[in-house]
């Protein structure tokens, strides 16, 4: 998968630095044509890590009682992923 990074201000291939690449199986658009959903299989040296925080997904926070809480564990220290 290829994404646009606002922080890098450029297109980048998922996994170009971490080795955590994605195989895209399906691409969908919502009814307003303002959200794109990719169905992927996450691959790499540590299967299942997609987030730069070392978690399975970047969607690891849940809103509970008005506060955001991390609800998914860090699977690998990000310092050891990005050298």
Question: Is the pTM of the predicted complex or chain greater than 0.75?
Answer: no
23-74 pLDDT per residue, tens? 899 999 999 999 998 898 888 766 688 888 989 888 999 999 999 999 999 9
pLDDT at residue 48, as a whole number: 81
Q: How far from 68 is each of 31, 62, 64, CA to CA, in Å?
A: 28, 5, 6
- The CA distance from 48 to 43, in Å, is 7
pLDDT at residue 46, as a whole number: 64
Q: Flag whether pLDDT at 83 surpasses 80.
A: no
Every domain of the chain and the residues it spans:
2-81
Q: Is 2-81 CATH 3.10.20?
A: yes
Q: Flag whether pLDDT at 19 surpasses 90.
A: no
């Amino acid at each position: 998968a290829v994404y646009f990074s606002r922080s890098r201000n450029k297109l980048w291939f998922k996994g170009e630095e971490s080795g955590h690449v994605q195989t895209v199986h399906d691409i969908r658009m919502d009814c307003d044509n303002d959200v794109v959903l990719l169905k992927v299989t996450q691959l790499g040296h540590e299967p299942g890590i997609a987030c730069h925080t070392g978690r399975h997904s970047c969607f690891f926070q849940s809103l509970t009682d008005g506060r955001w809480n991390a609800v998914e564990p860090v699977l690998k220290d990000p310092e050891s992923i990005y050298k």
